[in-house]
């Protein structure tokens, strides 16, 4: 069978299929999204976009109870959401093998923090596997299920953005069909009342000792002897950092770790005896270094290498060079690594002349533009609409995590009540995010009688991660028709009496809704409903673009205030006035610019 060229995420999906997985679940989140999108091609696997990561783990956990192999995938902050069932799953153990994929984000390319989920695996007493390329991602996925069933434990497979999204050659295999064993009726195992949980705790600690011994024997952990003087330097590393380090210091001795919790201390001790100095290369936190220091090993790590961002080759090279210059690391004075090193590229060098912005025709643009008129406290959430914080819209005061907008707004309203600092308070949240973790916040608002306004920006898709289905679209991950959740009915059933749906392309209607609801003395919900502009381009009617009549344009730049990238400025011959022009190839025909133009200089192309 020919080798396949797969991303790390695609390789994990392939590994799950080959391992005989029957159930796979996820909530979309970069950099993990493509795992389930790749799984859906394998008809032998039931897969679903769950409403959030907690539910994803619970569904996969139920499949394991029933004797099927199952996988749940999520980004690193998604594991926070899933921790409640996941941490107790460690106590119960599994019936069918279970693997949770945590896609971490060194560098925070699309995330709100840089947490290192290796610590969560240690916290939960579960084994941790870390691939460094696509082929390893596939093979480790298969092995993870074998480990899960051998030791009766959940297993965490941790990737990073580069492992998830980089492509490489993968050796494919055939699917190993696994019979679903049937539900395991054992209440002493699955019902974690204190009497059972205390006994399971003992089981967990005994299992941890067995896993520690396995770590020393595991084929994922191995020594690569170096050459010459460089071989006297020992580097302990894992994940993508191994690939970076091999680029920079190819002849050093390596202890390549693929199984990193528990650490293989016996193997590390054997490795340490073969080298003169030990370096630990790991992105983010000193997870391995701290444990090695506590065990009495003399190692260098975060004293030399940065604790934030990615340890890219230029970062490693310059860190090693600086450490050698200070004689922290022993390297010969004529070593090539001490030659003039490449200058680290500063993040500011990637700055573009304009900030990222909402797409042309994005239905979120109009509501933000109108909100600016009322200057409310605006608590935001995770999604495309987070870009509303940037100029020229500049209409978001906070954004913490999925679903936080409503709770944050509620807390602010209670804190400011009765003071001279009261302001209108609006929570902005997307349709998928509201279903993920905003519903409970709205229940709290109603129950505890707050008068905030919640704007649910419903663009009929999970757009930020590439256009995934969710319960309010009426379609499953495989585009099968299903029951459609009606958001306005849900809000009313919670107890919100003031619920209205408006078209975000109709600025007058949006203005009327906001002006009335922020004055209400009870909770209110405004649902701005319009399909994502990118979806409409794919299957909607032909777009008729708008244009600017240069004779009527007065150069007031009011249209630029909506922040649409389709609108540019031009200097016409013979005129000192900078005027607006619309790039026809980018225009989606939303009409927002025409509505804000004070002199009616913008109209639809067919009206020329």
DSSP per-residue letters across 490-512: HHHHHT--EEEEE-TT-HHHHHH
pLDDT at 338: 74
pLDDT at 195: 97
pLDDT in tens, 484-531: 999 999 999 999 999 999 999 999 999 999 999 999 999 999 999 999
pLDDT band at 339 (very low <50, low <70, confident <90, very high): confident
pLDDT over 60 (residue 382): yes
DSSP per-residue letters across 205-216: HHHHHHHHHHHH
pLDDT band at 566 (very low <50, low <70, confident <90, very high): very high
Cα 492 off chain centre by: 31
| Element holding 223 (H helix, E strand) | strand 222-224
> Domain spans of the chain?
4-217, 222-348, 365-539, 546-607
pLDDT at 348: 66
- Quote the percentage of the chain above a pLDDT of 70: 96
Global pTM reads 0.93
pLDDT at 574: 64
pLDDT at 321: 86
pLDDT band at 336 (very low <50, low <70, confident <90, very high): confident
**Within this chain, domains 4-217 and 222-348 share the same CATH topology:** yes
CATH 3.90.1480 fits 222-348, yes or no: no
365-539 belongs to which homologous superfamily?
Thiamin diphosphate (ThDP)-binding fold, Pyr/PP domains (3.40.50.970)
Count helices and strands in the chain by DSSP H and E runs: 21, 24
pLDDT in tens, 129-181: 999 999 999 999 999 999 999 999 999 999 999 999 999 999 999 999 999 99
What integer is the mean pLDDT of 596-607?
86
Structure tokens at 142: 């298969």
Beta bridge partners of 507: none
Q: Return the CATH number of the domain spanning residue range 4-217.
A: 3.40.50.970
What integer is the mean pLDDT of 591-598?
97
Domain 546-607, what fold? Alpha-Beta Plaits (3.30.70)
Structure tokens at 259: 């199984």
Strands (E), 140-205: 155-160, 167-170
pLDDT band at 573 (very low <50, low <70, confident <90, very high): low
């Amino acid at each position: 069978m020919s080798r396949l060229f797969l991303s790390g995420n695609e390789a994990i999906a392939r590994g799950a299929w080959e391992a005989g997985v029957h159930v796979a679940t996820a909530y979309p989140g970069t950099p993990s999204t493509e795992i389930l999108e790749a799984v859906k091609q394998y008809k032998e696997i039931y897969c679903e976009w769950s409403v959030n990561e907690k539910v994803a783990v619970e569904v996969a956990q139920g499949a394991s109870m029933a004797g099927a192999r199952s996988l749940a995938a999520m980004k690193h902050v998604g594991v926070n959401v899933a921790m409640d069932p996941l941490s107790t799953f460690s106590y119960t153990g599994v019936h069918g093998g279970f693997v949770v994929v945590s896609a971490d984000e060194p560098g925070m390319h699309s995330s709100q923090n840089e947490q290192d989920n290796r610590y969560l695996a240690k916290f939960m007493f579960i084994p941790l596997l870390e691939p460094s390329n696509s082929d390893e991602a596939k093979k480790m996925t298969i092995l993870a299920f074998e480990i899960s069933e051998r030791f009766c434990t959940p297993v965490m497979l941790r990737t990073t953005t580069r492992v998830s999204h980089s492509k490489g050659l993968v050796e494919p295999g055939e699917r190993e069909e696994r019979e679903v064993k049937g539900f395991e009726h054992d209440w002493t195992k699955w019902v974690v009342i204190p009497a059972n949980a205390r006994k399971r705790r003992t089981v967990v600690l005994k299992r941890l000792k067995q896993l520690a011994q396995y770590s020393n024997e595991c084929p994922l952990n191995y020594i690569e002897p170096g050459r010459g003087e460089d071989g006297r330097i020992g580097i302990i590393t894992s994940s993508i950092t191994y690939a970076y380090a091999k680029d920079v210091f190819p002849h050093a001795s390596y202890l390549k770790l693929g199984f990193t919790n528990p650490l293989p201390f016996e193997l590390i001790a054997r490795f340490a005896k073969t080298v003169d100095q030990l370096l630990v290369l790991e992105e983010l936190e000193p997870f391995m270094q701290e444990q090695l220091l506590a065990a009495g090993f003399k190692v260098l790590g975060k004293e030399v290498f940065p604790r934030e961002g990615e340890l890219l080759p230029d970062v490693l090279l310059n860190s090693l060079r600086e450490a050698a210059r200070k004689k922290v690391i022993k390297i010969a004075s004529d070593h090539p690594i001490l030659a003039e090193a490449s200058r680290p590229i500063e993040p500011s060098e990637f700055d573009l002349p304009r900030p990222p912005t909402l797409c042309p025709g994005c239905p979120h643009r109009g509501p933000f533009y109108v909100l600016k008129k009322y200057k409310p406290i605006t608590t935001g959430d995770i999604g495309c609409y987070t870009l509303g914080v940037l100029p020229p819209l500049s209409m978001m005061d906070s954004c913490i995590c999925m679903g936080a907008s409503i709770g944050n707004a509620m807390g602010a309203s209670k804190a400011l009540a009765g003071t001279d600092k009261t302001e209108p308070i609006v929570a902005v949240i997307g349709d998928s995010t509201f279903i993920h973790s905003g519903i409970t916040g709205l229940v709290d608002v109603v129950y505890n009688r707050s008068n905030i306004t919640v704007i649910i920006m419903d663009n009929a898709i999970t757009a930020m991660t590439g256009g995934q289905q969710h319960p309010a679209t009426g379609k499953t991950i495989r585009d099968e028709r299903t029951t459609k959740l009606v958001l306005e009915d849900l809000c009313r059933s919670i107890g919100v009496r003031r619920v209205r749906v408006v078209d975000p392309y109709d600025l007058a209607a949006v203005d009327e809704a906001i002006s009335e609801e922020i004055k209400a003395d009870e909770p209110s919900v405004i649902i701005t409903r319009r399909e994502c502009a990118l979806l409409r381009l794919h299957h909607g009617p032909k777009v008729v673009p708008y244009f600017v009549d240069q004779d009527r344009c007065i150069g007031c730049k009011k249209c630029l205030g909506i922040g649409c990238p389709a609108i540019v400025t031009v200097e016409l011959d013979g005129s000192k006035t900078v005027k607006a022009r619309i790039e026809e190839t980018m225009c989606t025909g939303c009409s927002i610019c025409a509505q804000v133009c004070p002199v009616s200089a913008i109209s639809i192309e067919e009206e020329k």
